[in-house]
Amino acid sequence: MGALARRLGLLDSVVIGLGAMIGAGIFAALGPAAAAAGRWLFVALGIAAVIAYCNATSSARLAARYPVSGGTYVYGRERLGPFWGYLAGWGFVVGKTASCAAMALTVGAYAWPEHSRIVAVGAVLAITAINYAGVQKSALATRVIVAVVLLVLSLVVIIGLFGKHSAAMPLPDRVGPRGVLAAAGLLFFAFAGYARIATLGEEVREPRRTIPRAIALALGGTLAVYLLVALAASAVLGTAGLACAADPLARVVTVAGAPDMSQVVRVGAVIAAAGSLLALLLGVSRTVLAMARDRYLPHALTAVHPHFGVPHRAEVVVGLLVAVIAAVFDLRAAIGFSSFTVLGYYLVANVSAMTLTAAEERPPRWAPIVGALGCVLVGFALPIGSVLAGLAVIGAGAGWYLVRARIVR
């Protein structure tokens, strides 16, 4: 098997990281986070960024040690044992399935708010059909989507900061530490994608030096963008207005005095969410394929279409499940559930990174410790419905593992 060419420098790696992080999450997560944190919204954003940095640092060192597909599904298996690897993979699949539903609901909220669920289900079915035919999001399309999103967010920031602020209303100041941590968990959803940098070890020049710097710069750049967006949105709507808006960034430009620009923001949000949905559906279906090949999921899901060359059964099952979730749950519930299960995934990554020795080029000792503690504290501070649903689904996955172990003896 040939090695990949080391063509990526620091700038390329940072751009890839920014492209993976700056997407639809900020269009969807800001409202629920404002409802949880109130005037402490910016503290919550900083906490989410620190946890993301620790998780990415741990993942980067593990990816260098195990440069194969599978992420924490592999790291947990190799460092902690098969059960923990499986549980990480299970958490990734169910968490990212909920993320897919959240992206679909974001499409609906910005495209046609009055019928957001119908639009969401239609978007899932349409993109599943596209994926079934073997059409994948190209690198060019990724750059175009990132450029559109950055332009739209810049528009929101400029109009928000220099527009009308008379409608801004704060939430009553009754927020405690749990509310701030819950908001951090919801905003963690908006940083999804940062681990993409951690998987570049075989393609980056001087990876030991470049990847940690790229992670820090990309996360710092993303945090700066999100801080500006949150500042503009808070100035126009206040935390009370943000908390009750399903399409907060479109409302920002409308209330700030530029209602004609709201359609531009809506189009940008739909493009961002649809692009994220396309990539997420591809990623989840491929993880389902890998777990089915290992017999952790029904083996029938390993089928690859003879003409299109895609795991068509896995794609159809994932697509239908996402469509059902989008039809039944609301956007905030989907974000909360996704954040809880994905935080569990990164908890396994951080604990796995703690087992690395100095000879295995472990990360700084504080990074996986802070990351693991952050995943636990923020995860269990999320809305109780999200926590209970996440525990139930993870428990069901653990139960299936034990049943399977007895069957295949």
User: How do the domains of the chain map onto residue ranges?
Assistant: 10-358+371-408
280-337 tens-digit pLDDT: 888 888 888 888 888 888 999 999 888 888 899 999 999 999 999 999 999 999 999 9
233-243 tens-digit pLDDT: 999 999 999 99
* DSSP H or E segment with residue 269: helix 262-293
Q: Give the three-class secondary structure for 204.
A: strand
How much is the pLDDT for 215? 83
Q: How far apart are CA 141 and CA 23, in angstroms?
A: 13
Pair 117, 105: CB distance under 8 Å: yes
The model's confidence at residue 409, banded by pLDDT at 50, 70 and 90, is low
How much is the pLDDT for 1? 40
- Tell me which of 373 and 405 has the higher pLDDT: 373
Q: Is the pLDDT of residue 56 over 50?
A: yes
178-214 tens-digit pLDDT: 999 999 999 999 998 777 776 666 677 887 778 788 8
The model's confidence at residue 13, banded by pLDDT at 50, 70 and 90, is confident
Token digits of residue 395: 């428990």
110-141 tens-digit pLDDT: 999 999 999 999 999 999 998 888 755 555 67
How much is the pLDDT for 2? 47
The gap between the terminal CA atoms of the chain, to the nearest Å, is 33
Pair 66, 339: CB distance under 8 Å: no
Q: Is the pLDDT of residue 155 over 60?
A: yes
Residue 301, amino acid = L
Q: Is the pLDDT of residue 380 over 90?
A: yes
The average pLDDT across 89-100 equals: 93
Q: How far from 281 is each of 101, 173, 286, 321, 341, CA to CA, in Å? A: 10, 39, 9, 11, 17
Most confident among 134-143, 194-203, 216-225, 375-384 (mean pLDDT): 375-384
Residue 259, amino acid = P
Mean of pLDDT over the chain = 89
Q: Which CATH class is domain 10-358+371-408?
A: mainly alpha
Q: What does R_g of the chain's alpha carbons equal in angstroms?
A: 20
Q: How far apart are CA 132 and CA 369, in angstroms?
A: 41
* DSSP H or E segment with residue 181: helix 177-188
Q: Is the pLDDT of residue 148 over 70?
A: yes
